[in-house]
Amino acid sequence: MNQNSNHYLAEAPIGKLMMKFSIPCIMSLLVSSLYNIVDQIFIGRGVGYLGNGATNVVFPITVIALALALMIGDGCAAFLSICQGKKDTEGIRMGAGNSILVLVLSSIMIMIIFIVFREGILRAFGATENNIAYARDYFDIIVIGIPFFMFTNGLNSIIRADGSPQFAMISTLVGCIINIIFDPIAIFVLHWGVKGAALATIAGQIVSAGLALYYLFHTKSFKLNIKSFAIKASLLERILPLGISSFLTQLSIVIIMGVMNNVLVKYGAMSKYGADIPMTVVGIVMKVFQIVIAFVVGVAAGSQPIVGYNYGAGHFGRVKEIYKKMMIVEVGIGIIATICFEIFPMRIISLFGSESDLYNEYGVMAFRIFLCTMILCCVQKATSIFLQSLGKPVLSMGLSLLRDFVLSVPLVLILPLAFGVEGPLFSAPIADIISFLVVLIIMRTVIKELNTTVKKEEV
At 303, give phi and psi (nearest 5°). -80, -10
- d(CA 104, CA 113) in angstroms, rounded, equals 15
Residue 390 scores a pLDDT above 50: yes
- d(CA 93, CA 148) in angstroms, rounded, equals 23
Higher pLDDT, 456 or 31: 31
Higher pLDDT, 6 or 357: 357
Q: Which of 222, 209, 229, 237 is nearest to 153 (CA)?
A: 209
Q: How many CA atoms lie within 13 A of 449 on its CB side?
A: 12
Region 268-286: what's the mean pLDDT? Answer: 90
Terminal Cα distance for the chain, rounded: 35
| 0.85 exceeded by pTM | no
Higher pLDDT, 123 or 28: 123
pLDDT at site 454: 55
Provide the mean pLDDT of the chain.
87
The dihedral of CA 307, 389, 77, 313: what is its sign? positive
Residue 34 scores a pLDDT above 80: no
Encode pLDDT of 402-416 as tens digits.
988 899 999 999 999
- Cβ neighbours of residue 264 closer than 8 Å, sequence gap 6 or more: 126, 275, 278, 279, 282, 421, 424
Q: Provide, rounded to the nearest whole percent, the portion of the chain with pLDDT above 70.
A: 96
Higher pLDDT, 459 or 424: 424
Q: How does residue 301 score in pLDDT terms, banded at 50, 70 and 90? A: confident
pLDDT at site 453: 65
Higher pLDDT, 109 or 54: 109
322 near 302, Cβ under 8 Å? no
Q: How does residue 3 score in pLDDT terms, banded at 50, 70 and 90? A: very low
SS3 45: helix
Region 360-385: what's the mean pLDDT? Answer: 94
At 164, give phi and psi (nearest 5°). -130, 60
Q: Which helix (H) or strand (E) holds 407?
A: none
Residue 214 scores a pLDDT above 60: yes
Q: How does residue 389 score in pLDDT terms, banded at 50, 70 and 90? A: confident
At 314, give phi and psi (nearest 5°). 85, 15
What DSSP character marks residue 185? I
